[in-house]
Structure 1
Amino acid sequence: MTHVRKKFIEILEKAIEDGRKMTREEMLFTYDGVVYPTALCSPEVFKALESFEAWSDDVILAGYCKSGTNWVGQIVTDLVITSAKKHEPHKLNEKLLLAEFPFLEIGDTEKYQRMNTYPPRRVMFTHLRPDKLPVSVFKNKAKILMLIRNPKDVAASFFHFSNTFSPYPPYDTFDSYFRALMEGQMPWGSYIEYLCVWNKYVDKENVMPITYEELKANTALGAEKISKFFELNLSEEDFRAVAERSTFKSMKENSKTTHGDFGNVLFRKGGVSDWKTLFNESNNKEMDSVFKERLAGTKVGSMIKYDVYCKA
């Protein structure tokens, strides 16, 4: 089952082309205290997003850039489509479900008006912190799957991505990139800050946290957990099938169809502990210290299993 997002491909290919023409200074802008990529986001769209009306049956995946949102987004979308085909085929309009760019904050200013005409369940992704989401998301209790990945692997993946995705500033060395990441001078801001803010929302009834690492360890079990949270009423057979379709190998092979040229940039390794090839002693000490100070003892911090995945 290969889900083709035409708008996804169109917008990303334009962003890649625009990014190639930008100076480093032009690539980023700051809005409401957070840094964003110019080729993908704009103040006008953020302003229009404020009036977006979320529905209680919306399916939202929230995760920081390079935390696994495209992979987990494939799983979530597959689960929703599989459920609709089994239980409400008369309501399923796959073309409309995949009509918009999946990330809530990326598109044009009329996007949200169009989305109001689409049938449920609407599936959306976001890299935004919860305090930057439209008020209606929490007011109307749209369900949010919050994706967490250990910060060192996010850092490693983001470094490689930044050096291959033209709308993002490239870095000659990991140390220069690491400094920008820790100071929040990267697209989507600081990951540590992102986790700290989400920790304040993680116990809300419409939020379910899940880790990239647990999904990697047992994707079918993770698919079942996601399905139950979104009340999709699927079977063990469905979970296994979704897991098979969402393997890294399968998604990479289909990436030209599903993601256009962006697929060559997006699917690199998809593993765990790649950070060990990049972090030096100084990087490790700084990340360990910041994590201990800001996230140790929190619910999100404990879910990361820092001692398992992030110790040198």
Structure 2
Amino acid sequence: ESSNSSSSITTAAADQESMDRMEVVETLCGINLPGHLHTKESLQFAQDFEFRDNDVVIVTYPKSGTTWMQEILTLIYSKGDSMPAENIPNWARAPWLEQHYFKDLVRNGSGPRLITTHLQYRFLAKALGRSKAKVIYITRNPKDVAVSFYHFHKMANFLPDPGSFNDLLKKFLDGTVSFGSWFDHVKGWHNQKNAVNIFYITYEEMKMDLRGSIERLCNFLHFPLLPAVVDSIHKHCTFTNMKDNKMANYTLIPNEIMDHQKGKFMRKGEVGDWKRHFTVEQSIIFDNIYEDEMRGTSLQFTW
């Protein structure tokens, strides 16, 4: 059933109605979102969603390790069996709450449902407040996020032309890129650490100690696994293995939507790639804005 659903979603993504929305921009409280993926109805569906207590919600700002976490959780809940990860696209295993393709898949999933979202906390606060759903929030060095987002814009035909890296960086820093402000996203979710059953982890922690990160996730999920199973998940979920898995690397998406000649969805997966893109001046400007935006928060990052 999942394979059939994923196939129909891939087909739907390329149908004429969806292609006609490639240039459409939806807005949610001033935040721009690609109309190819979002409609007013799908965004309302997300805000009204009835979460179940055993749901697991993956939350990220774009380009922060979403696909990686989808893969890890797939393998945890399959107890190390790689069959789902190798045969079912990640968007069918952990569908997007706010994207219009996945309404039925999200709503009708069975138990523990893996659900993915890029939405800020304020849009899901009411819905999450009605349940004990577990939230896993991944954040990443925003300089690396900006670089990855820039390269993604160049291949994703449903996102606006980024112009130069400096052009995109300015929009990233003032929060006018698609999906809104990185700062608002991170602070909004972190401020709910006492209101929501939430697990925080950084992309950099996962890079430094993937096996330990998997163990921590298992503890949070109350889903213990034997060491040998954790070892197999660790092996499967390395960047090298995942980038060649067509069920995770988005090569199933047609070129009209993601131009695979212009780049790879899973590009490098490195920590610190920003140093190859930022000028000294850009880095200083970024650091000053970061300091102003994050002043007063208790957030601790390993980078």
**Aligned counterparts of 2:222 and 2:125: Cα–Cα separation in 1:** 23
Q: Deviations over 1:150-192 (max 9, x none)?
A: 1101011111111111111122311111112122222211111
Structure 1 unaligned residues grouped into runs of 5+:
86-93
| C-alpha distance 203-150 of structure 1, shift in aligned 2 (>3 A) | farther
Q: Is the 8 A contact 1:5 1:101 kept in 2?
A: no
TM-score scaled by structure 1?
Answer: 0.82
Task: State the Cα distance separating 1:215 from its structure 2 match.
Answer: 0.5
Structure 2 unaligned residues grouped into runs of 5+:
82-86
The structure, 1 or 2, with the larger RCO (C-alpha pairs under 8 Å, 6+ apart) is: 1
The one of 225, 228, 239 aligned to 1:237? 228
SS of the residue 1:140 aligns to: coil
**Aligned counterparts of 1:289 and 1:257: Cα–Cα separation in 2:** 36
**Aligned counterparts of 2:180 and 2:271: Cα–Cα separation in 1:** 22
**Equivalenced residues, count:** 288
Task: State the Cα distance separating 1:99 from its structure 2 match.
Answer: 4.6
What percentage of residue pairs aligned between the two structures are identical?
26
Q: Deviations over 1:41-74 (max 9, x none)?
A: 1111112223311011111110110001011111
Amino acid corresponding to residue 285 of structure 1 in structure 2 = I
Q: Is the 8 A contact 1:147 1:210 kept in 2?
A: yes
1:17-166 alignment, distance < 5 Å: 26-82=23-79, 99=92, 102-108=95-101, 111=103, 115-133=106-124, 135-166=126-157
Equivalent residue, structure 2, for 1:88: none
TM-score scaled by structure 2?
Answer: 0.84
| C-alpha distance 7-127 of structure 1, shift in aligned 2 (>3 A) | farther
Equivalent residue, structure 1, for 2:207: 216
SS of the residue 1:291 aligns to: helix
The one of 192, 199, 219 aligned to 1:228? 219
Q: Is the 8 A contact 1:67 1:154 kept in 2?
A: yes
**Aligned counterparts of 1:104 and 1:189: Cα–Cα separation in 2:** 17
SS of the residue 2:52 aligns to: coil
Amino acid corresponding to residue 82 of structure 1 in structure 2 = K
Task: State the Cα distance separating 1:98 from its structure 2 match.
Answer: 7.1
Amino acid corresponding to residue 286 of structure 2 in structure 1 = M
SS of the residue 2:192 aligns to: coil
Amino acid corresponding to residue 131 of structure 2 in structure 1 = N
**Aligned counterparts of 1:16 and 1:199: Cα–Cα separation in 2:** 36
Q: Is the 8 A contact 1:41 1:106 kept in 2?
A: yes
Task: State the Cα distance separating 1:258 from its structure 2 match.
Answer: 6.6
